[in-house]
Amino acid sequence: MRPAAETLILETASRKIPLSLERGKGRRIRIAVLDDGRVRASVPRGVAPARVLAFAREKAAWIERAVRKSETRIRLHAPAKSAETGLISILGQTYPVKIEPGRARRAAFADGVLVVPVADIHDREAVRRRIESWLKRRAGQVLAAALDRGLEADPFGGLAAPPWSLRWMKRRWGSCGRDGRIVFNTRLVQTAPSLVEYVVLHELCHLKHHDHGASFYSLLARCLPDWKERRKALNAIAAE
Ligand SMILES: [Zn+2]
């Protein structure tokens, strides 16, 4: 499937929702929210985009509700699929991705849309690389800030900042070596901030306790009383 030729952006009070247009079907405008959160508008030939947007605006509350519901299924919109879906998950929210021909070397997030310039908009590999490199930069900022906050928290106050790095990993969200080096999954930046916080505190607890024994968990519980719920949410993503 090629990127939708026509994508409109429906702006609601709280977010921007991309609508991909499918032309030529039926006699009325119809809007459907797919399981993965994509919104498709089937539009008769000749209907102007402004008319479609006006129709979508009337149904904005319903569309937004359905999109949110799809997000609770915690399906991350992976960079590799963005060319197809036109969506990306960033910090637990879904944003439109706009792939456009261009020479700029970097994707940029502007006004709630991730704009990805590539020489050939059908080159999925190039799209994936651009999006991944944008996510990695963002992940660097997000994790650095989360680590700072974690280190300030009781009971870590005074602990030296550990060396850390990012890596795209399939099975782990983070790890802490015996030497105190922490590796975070770059993909964490696609999950909710509360889950990033959980992984950071989990790994920081490993600086004090290198196993998953009782002392480790009691320390974790002191940092994050609701750590079990967060772990559950994270596992729901890993199971995808
Ligand atoms: Zn652990």
For 16-38, the pLDDT digits (tens) are 888 988 888 678 999 998 866 78
The DSSP bridge pattern shows strands 108-110 and 7-11 to be unpaired
**How many angstroms is it from 92 CA to the middle of ligand 1?**
22
143 plus 66 within the same structural domain: no
User: Both tokens of residue 172?
Assistant: 């782990």
pLDDT band at 1 (very low <50, low <70, confident <90, very high): very low
Cis peptide bond upstream of 3, omega within 30: no
Of 57, 73, 89, the domain-final residue: 73
Answer whether residue 98 is part of any domain.
Answer: no
Q: Does some domain include residue 116?
A: no
Maximum separation of any 2 CA atoms in the chain, in Å: 67
| Residue entry with tokens 């770059």 | 186
| Residue 143 pLDDT level (bands cut at 50, 70, 90) | very high
Cα separation, 129 vs 117, in Å, equals 11
Whole-number Å distance between alpha carbons of 168 and 132: 9
Q: What is the pLDDT of residues 165-179, one digit of tens each?
A: 999 988 889 999 999
Whole-angstrom distance, CA of residue 69 vs CA of residue 204 = 33
Distance 142 CA to ligand 1 centre (A): 20
**Mean pLDDT computed over 58-63:** 92
80 inside domain: no
SS3 assignment, position 240: coil
Average pLDDT, stretch 220-237?
89
Q: What is the pLDDT of residue 217?
A: 96
Number of domains in the chain: 2
| Among candidate residues 73, 100, 130, the one where a domain is terminated | 73
CATH number for the domain that contains residue 201? 3.30.2010.10
Tell me the CA–centroid distance for residue 201 and ligand 1, in Å: 10
pLDDT at residue number 2: 44
Q: What is the mean pLDDT of the chain?
A: 88
Asked whether residue 100 is assigned to any structural domain, the reply reads no
Residue 126 lies in a domain: no
Q: Which of 51, 73, 95 is the last residue of a domain?
A: 73
Residue 234 shares a structural domain with residue 143: yes
- Examine residue 95 and state whether it is found in any structural domain, yes or no: no
- pLDDT for the residue 157: 80
73 pLDDT tier (thresholds 50, 70, 90): low
The SS3 of residue 27 is coil
**54 belongs to a structural domain:** yes
What are the C-alpha distances in Å from 48 to residues 6, 31, 58, 61? 11, 15, 16, 22
3-state secondary structure of 96: strand
Amino acid at 215: S
The SS3 assignment for 14 reads coil
Same domain (yes/no): 64, 147? no
Say yes or no: 152 and 227 in one domain.
yes
Residue 72: pLDDT over 60: no
87: enclosing H helix or E strand: strand 87-90
Backbone φ and ψ for 115, nearest 5 degrees, come out as -95, 125
| DSSP 8-state code for residue 221 | H
- 60 and 150 together in one domain: no
Among the ranges given (133-137, 165-169, 231-235), the one the predictor scored with the smallest mean pLDDT: 231-235
On the question of pLDDT at 194 being above 80, the answer is yes
Structure confidence at residue 71 (pLDDT): 63
Residues 152 and 62 in one domain: no
CA atoms within 13 A on the CB side of 204: 30
Residue 182 near residue 164, CB atoms below 8 Å: yes
| 155 and 231 share one domain | yes
Q: What is the pLDDT of residue 36?
A: 67
Cα 154 to ligand 1 centre (Å) = 19
Residue 75 CA to its chain's centroid (Å) = 9
Give 199 Cα–ligand 1 centroid separation in angstroms: 9
- Domain membership flag for residue 66: yes
Task: State which residues form the domain around 201.
Answer: 138-238
Residues 226 and 149 in one domain: yes
Output the CA 233–ligand 1 centroid distance in Å: 16
Gap from CA of 129 to ligand 1 centroid (Å)? 30
Higher pLDDT, 47 or 78: 47
Amino acid present at 25: K
Residues 69 and 158 in one domain: no
